[in-house]
Amino acid sequence: MAHAPGRLHPERPERIAALIDMTAQLTRPALKHHGPRPASIAELRLCHGADYIASVEHSASVERFDFDGDTHSSAATWATARLAAGGVLTAIEAVADGDADNGFAIVRPPGHHARPDQAMGFCFFNNVAIGAKWLLESRGFSRVLVLDWDVHHGNGTQEMFYDTSKVLYMSTHQYPFYPGTGWFDEVGTEIGAGFTVNAPMPATFGDREYLRVFDDLMLPIARQFKPEFVLISAGFDCHHRDPLGGMRVSEEGFTAMTRRMTALAAECCGGKIVAILEGGYDLQALAGGARAVIEEFGRDAETVGPTPQSARITPVVDRARHFLSPYWKLD
């Protein structure tokens, strides 16, 4: 909560306060709370350059520094951003070591827009990317899935894994919208060709459209990839209440998407799954969406219901399949 980008900035400390209040109301005895540790410089270096990391550290010497028009630091941002990345590693390590079945990293600032040498979109360090790289480099995993349902495309995460087959990056996002990336033809390059999956959708799409993209595009590819660990970039700005986005996802939609991802994790990797907070700027929607994910994580695997029908999403699914069919079986 110490990271303060500005009094009227949408990525404000109250976001974390709302989630702390929400988790305090959860009464499941098996739910464990872990404080985050700061990510080390070596861990930040998994995804970011030394000079860029030094620039974020230097920002702690001034009260305010503007990395771009949207991304502002305060004197506490350096320490808080290290805790955000380290909090993701705390959750991933607990699941990888069997100390927890799954985890939700309640962290800010968010991360999925952060590029190797650039802060942008409220993000300083790419928390989910650091987590994925840590699994590959420190724990010897060879197939990590990152599913990003934030309303904005995770351009930083995509960039970091665009040329590798070890990380399958999949994104549902509003398009056209910030940051302007994530079109169908962005599928990866070199040995990473086919391992980036984008489903850009127009505003006003909601639960039915998202779930059909999951069932008809994302999950068939993910099952062929057979991930050893699943990470969710869980942004709640695709909720219908969010002031920045134009999508129509509900709490029930987040439950259904989470159920599909936990079923995939149970099928492929012994249930190893961690969700990482990204965006979400209406406090009620943020708390409700995060609660839906955490409560679904606490249930035994349940049967996934039938795929909702929505004619509006058919062109999106068909267009994505066109670009991805050379790499995956998409009947």
Catalytic position from the list 113, 152, 173, 239: 113
CA–CA dist 40, 61 (Å, integer): 19
Amino acid occupying residue 42: A
Q: Are 229 and 96 in contact (CB under 8 A)?
A: yes
- For 270-328, the DSSP string reads TT-EEEEE----SHHHHHHHHHHHHHHHTSPP----PPPP-GGGHHHHHHHHHHHTTTS
The sheet that has 167-174: what strands, in order across it?
102-105, 273-277, 229-234, 144-148, 167-174, 196-201
322 as an active site residue: the answer is: no
Under DSSP, is residue 135 helix (H, G, I), strand (E, B) or coil? Answer: helix
Separation of CA 102 from chain center: 15
Handedness of CA 210, 212, 214, 218 (dihedral sign): negative
CA–CA dist 264, 232 (Å, integer): 12
Point out the residues that are catalytic. 113
